[in-house]
Amino acid sequence: MSVLGEALGRRVPDPARRVRRIEPTRRRLPLTLHDLRELWTYHELLFFLVWRDVKVKYKQTAIGASWAILVPFTQMVLFTVIFNRALHVKSEYHVPYPLFSYTALLPWMYFQSCLGASSMSIVGNQNLITKVWFPRLLIPLAAVFAPVLDFLLAFCVLVGMFVWYGRTPHWHAVVIPVFLLLALLTAFGVGLWLSALNVRYRDIPYALPFLTQIWFFGTPVLWGITAVKPSTQRLLGLNPMTGVIDGFRWSVLGRGLPHYTLYAESLGIGLVILISGLWYFRRVERYFADLI
């Protein structure tokens, strides 16, 4: 207790004197206030983990970060040729199909790389997990922050496409971060499940390509939500990425009406995944070092 603290007659928590009890956990809540405080004291480590992932990602590649642009751009071209030109899939509100699909590909690619990164995150950092303690949540958390950079790079292409098509952004664009946040939240929730499950069941890397593929086709990336009946829309809302992508399109392209119920539904489901993911992750994290 510091002198000042004593003078004020109040306990000032001095980290050098605080006693921590190490014992078998009997935890009820997935995340207590104390856990949040602890996470906060390690926020710099989160920064360094993200920074490391970003820095290392394109090391020793010939074209480096250009991959972050090249991949979604090529996908957009392919999708336009196959789905729009050959199969006559239509965009919504007469938006050029390349622009239409690219706006959806951005959050989708972000989401997909988050899943890939977070599913391997705990196992991939086993040298840390088995040798040093820090809040384990930082690892899957870093895995959803690092791909944000790729997202931003790919976003520059979107700006270029706006110029190409002679469009001006709509004021809706101010809510883009909200939908990015929703994507991050969903990715983090799913990532918590995948990263923790992968410690025990190494099936995850095999199952993940299936999962993302099915998810991709169940998400309105190639097509628009207005292409299906309202009742089906409601059903699609159970997929939190539907809300993310539709909302992203709405805010970027500035066409159509916002589907508030859809966003609310997606947010709700996203939170359910996140909270259940937190619950599972926190329940098994104490065995990580023993199981890895």
Partner 1 sequence: MGDFAIRAEGLAKQYRIGQMHSSVDTLRDHVVHSLRNLRSERRPRETIWALDGVSFEAREGEALGIIGRNGAGKTTLLRLLSRITEPTKGYADVRGRVGSLLEVGTGFHAELTGRENIFLNGAILGMRRAEIVRKYDEIVEFAGVETFIDTPVKRYSSGMFVRLAFSVAAHLEPEILIVDEVLSVGDAEFQKRCLGKMESFGRSGRTVLFVSHSMPIVARLCPRLLLLDRGRLVADGPAESVIGQYLHGEHGTATRQEWSDPATAPGDEYVRLRSARVVDASGATSDVVDVADEVGIEIGFDLLKSDLAVFPWIDIYSEGGQHVFSAMDTDPVWQEQREPGRYVSTAWIPDHLLNDGTLHVTVSVKSPLLGRKPWRHAEVESALTFQVVEQSEGATARGHFAGRIGGPVRPLLRWTTRSGSTADEPLVAHPSGE
**Residue 89: CB partners within 8 Å, gap ≥ 6?**
83, 97, 222, 223
Q: Which of 3, 16, 62, 86 binds partner 1 (CB under 8 A)?
A: 16
Q: Shortest gap between Cβ of 240 and partner 1 (angstroms)?
A: 24
Judged by beta carbon, residue 181 or residue 291, the one nearer partner 1 is 291
Q: Shortest gap between Cβ of 115 and partner 1 (angstroms)?
A: 18
Whole-number Å distance between alpha carbons of 240 and 183: 8
Distances (CA, A) of 77 to 102, 175, 224: 9, 27, 17
Q: Which burial class, exposed, middle or buried, applies to 276 when counting CB atoms under 10 A from its CB (0-12, 13-18, 19+)?
A: middle
Q: CA dihedral defined by 77, 78, 79, 83, rounded to 10 degrees?
A: 120
Whole-number Å distance between alpha carbons of 5 and 47: 32
176 binds partner 1 (CB under 8 A): no
Q: Shortest gap between Cβ of 231 and partner 1 (angstroms)?
A: 35
Q: Which of 21, 28, 34, 94 binds partner 1 (CB under 8 A)?
A: 21
Q: Shortest gap between Cβ of 180 and partner 1 (angstroms)?
A: 26
201 binds partner 1 (CB under 8 A): yes
Q: Shortest gap between Cβ of 197 and partner 1 (angstroms)?
A: 9
Per-residue binding string, partner 1, 130-159, x by CB under 8 A, is xxxxx-------------------------
283 binds partner 1 (CB under 8 A): no
Distances (CA, A) of 240 to 109, 125, 218, 262, 286: 15, 28, 11, 9, 29
Residue owning tokens 């999962």: 211
202 binds partner 1 (CB under 8 A): yes
Q: Which of residues 44-63 bind partner 1 (CB under 8 A)?
A: 44-45, 47-48, 51-52, 55-56, 59-60
Provide the residue count of the chain.
292
Q: Which stretch binds partner 1 (CB under 8 A): 114-122, 170-178, 195-203, 267-275?
A: 195-203
Whole-number Å distance between alpha carbons of 256 and 244: 15
26 binds partner 1 (CB under 8 A): no
Q: What stretch of H or E contains 237?
A: none
Q: Shortest gap between Cβ of 61 and partner 1 (angstroms)?
A: 11
Q: Which stretch binds partner 1 (CB under 8 A): 122-130, 212-220, 234-242, 270-278?
A: 122-130
129 binds partner 1 (CB under 8 A): yes
At 35, list the tokens.
């856990």
Whole-number Å distance between alpha carbons of 198 and 53: 19
